[in-house]
Amino acid sequence: MRGLIGKKIGMTQVFSDNGSLLPVTIVEAGPCVVTQVKTTIRDGYNAVQIGYSDLKEKHLNKAQSGHFNKGNSTAKRYLAEFKPVSNYDYKTGQEFGVSLFREGELVSVSGTSKGKGFSGVMKRHGFGGGPKTHGQREHPRSPGSIGQASDPSRVFKGMKMAGQYGNKKVSSRNLEIISVLKESNQLLIKGAIPGANNGIVYISK
């Protein structure tokens, strides 16, 4: 298995072996159950589908119920696909936990960033703002000019302007695993990861 689905618990600090203070994020990774094994012959590509977080049967429709029954697993709230490890025989119903990872390993973590709503250009893009004097009145945080007048007579696509900020899929790469806590099924990952506490994240090697 190349990854797991998990839940961001929060951040804390730990000391390394040399006495350095490290900021870490606690992630509850799994346990995840294999719900489907996809093959090139049947599905056109190789992948392993896993599920995380139990879900009551009454919340499933007929198709979902049949999918989990066929996969010999209980109903799961979140599903994801990962690349399989070659020459490993995956079976539906298998369970994987944090033992997939080891200390010092580098991983990528994907999640949904915190939504900030409609934000201005200084918050959204890091603009410096206008001058604080020399006739400045009511526009210290405005974006300024966004283009020319007669030519090209339009605003180019991709112009950095105010708008919706956050609430998008974000990936942080090459994050180091500081510790693997098998008894509580948790990972301590160095630094910050996307999303709010209790948000769902996808950890991949």
Q: What is the pLDDT of residues 63-108, one digit of tens each?
A: 988 888 887 788 889 999 999 888 888 888 888 989 899 999 999 9
Asked if the model's pLDDT at residue 1 lies above 80, the reply is no
Looking at the structure, tell me whether residues 76 and 108 fall in a common domain.
Answer: no
Looking at the structure, tell me whether residues 88 and 7 fall in a common domain.
Answer: no
Looking at the structure, tell me whether residues 55 and 86 fall in a common domain.
Answer: yes
Asked if the model's pLDDT at residue 8 lies above 90, the reply is yes
What percentage of residues in the chain have a pLDDT greater than 90? 60
Cα separation, 154 vs 146, whole angstroms: 9
Residue 12 DSSP SS3: strand
Task: Report the CATH number that the domain containing residue 65 is assigned in CATH.
Answer: 3.30.160.810
Residue 82 lies in a domain: yes
Length of the chain in terms of residues written: 205
- Structural domain including 173 reads 1-30+98-117+160-205
Residue 89 DSSP SS3: coil
Asked if the model's pLDDT at residue 165 lies above 90, the reply is yes
Looking at the structure, tell me whether residues 88 and 107 fall in a common domain.
Answer: no
Looking at the structure, tell me whether residues 71 and 108 fall in a common domain.
Answer: no
Cα separation, 14 vs 129, whole angstroms: 38
Looking at the structure, tell me whether residues 89 and 18 fall in a common domain.
Answer: no
Residue 89 lies in a domain: yes
Residue 69 lies in a domain: yes
Report which of 28, 39, 47 is spatially closest to residue 203, judged by C-alpha positions.
28
Looking at the structure, tell me whether residues 23 and 50 fall in a common domain.
Answer: no
Rounded alpha-carbon distances, angstroms, from residue 121 to 35, 143, 184: 44, 6, 42
Task: Report the CATH number that the domain containing residue 6 is assigned in CATH.
Answer: 2.40.30.10
Looking at the structure, tell me whether residues 203 and 186 fall in a common domain.
Answer: yes
Residue 200 lies in a domain: yes
Looking at the structure, tell me whether residues 22 and 40 fall in a common domain.
Answer: no
Asked if the model's pLDDT at residue 177 lies above 90, the reply is yes
Looking at the structure, tell me whether residues 112 and 166 fall in a common domain.
Answer: yes
Looking at the structure, tell me whether residues 87 and 102 fall in a common domain.
Answer: no
pTM for this model (two decimals): 0.85
